[in-house]
């Protein structure tokens, strides 16, 4: 998928992935893969960003003698999803215009 189109979408996809249950980097990449490709060098900075704005939290746990960093969504994170969905109406108008409908349509 177009790199530019992904901007602003990936953060929300990661948050949506954590909505039902906590997860960790490697699993997030694999779970999202069928829907949207996200590389490691893209995901880890995203997780850092989301931590900084407290949209997620993290807890390291041992699994098979190895450390895994689990991420949990916060209320702020859920709110971000809601805001995004709210804004999406405007994007749909833009797409409608691009597809050939009138602006005031």
Partner DNA sequence: TTTCTATACCTCGTTATACAAAGTATTATG
Partner DNA sequence: CATAATACTTTGTATAACGAGGTATAGAAA
- Residues lying near DNA in the complex (CB under 7 A) are found at 1, 3-4, 6-11, 24-27, 30, 37-42, 44-49, 63-69
In the complex, what is the shortest distance from the CB of residue 72 to a second copy, in angstroms, rounded to a whole number? 18
Q: Does 79 bind a second copy (CB under 8 A)?
A: no
Q: Does 52 bind a second copy (CB under 8 A)?
A: no
Q: Does 66 bind a second copy (CB under 8 A)?
A: no
- State the Cα–Cα distance between residues 17 and 82, nearest whole angstrom: 14
In the complex, what is the shortest distance from the CB of residue 99 to DNA, in angstroms, rounded to a whole number? 18
Proportion of the chain in helix, strand, coil states, percent, rounded to 5? 55, 15, 30
- Residue that is written with structure tokens 């005031």 in the block: 104
- Asked if residue 74 lies in contact with residue 53, where contact means CB atoms within 8 angstroms, the answer is no
In the complex, what is the shortest distance from the CB of residue 66 to a second copy, in angstroms, rounded to a whole number? 27
**Alpha-carbon distance values, 75 to 14, 15, 23, 82 (Å):** 15, 11, 16, 11
Q: Which residues bind a second copy (CB under 8 A)?
A: 1-5, 7-9, 12-13, 16, 19, 34-36, 81, 84-85, 87-88, 90-91, 93-95, 97-100, 103
């Amino acid at each position: 998928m177009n790199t530019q189109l992904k901007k602003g979408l990936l953060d929300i996809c990661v948050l949506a992935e954590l909505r039902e249950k906590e997860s960790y980097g490697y699993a997030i990449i694999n779970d999202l893969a069928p829907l949207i490709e996200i590389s490691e060098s893209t995901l880890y900075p995203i997780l850092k960003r989301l931590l900084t704005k407290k949209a997620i939290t993290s807890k390291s746990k041992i699994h098979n003698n190895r450390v895994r960093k689990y991420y949990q969504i916060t209320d702020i994170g859920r709110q971000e999803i809601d805001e995004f969905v709210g804004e999406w109406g405007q994007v749909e108008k833009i797409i409608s215009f691009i597809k050939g409908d009138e602006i005031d349509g």
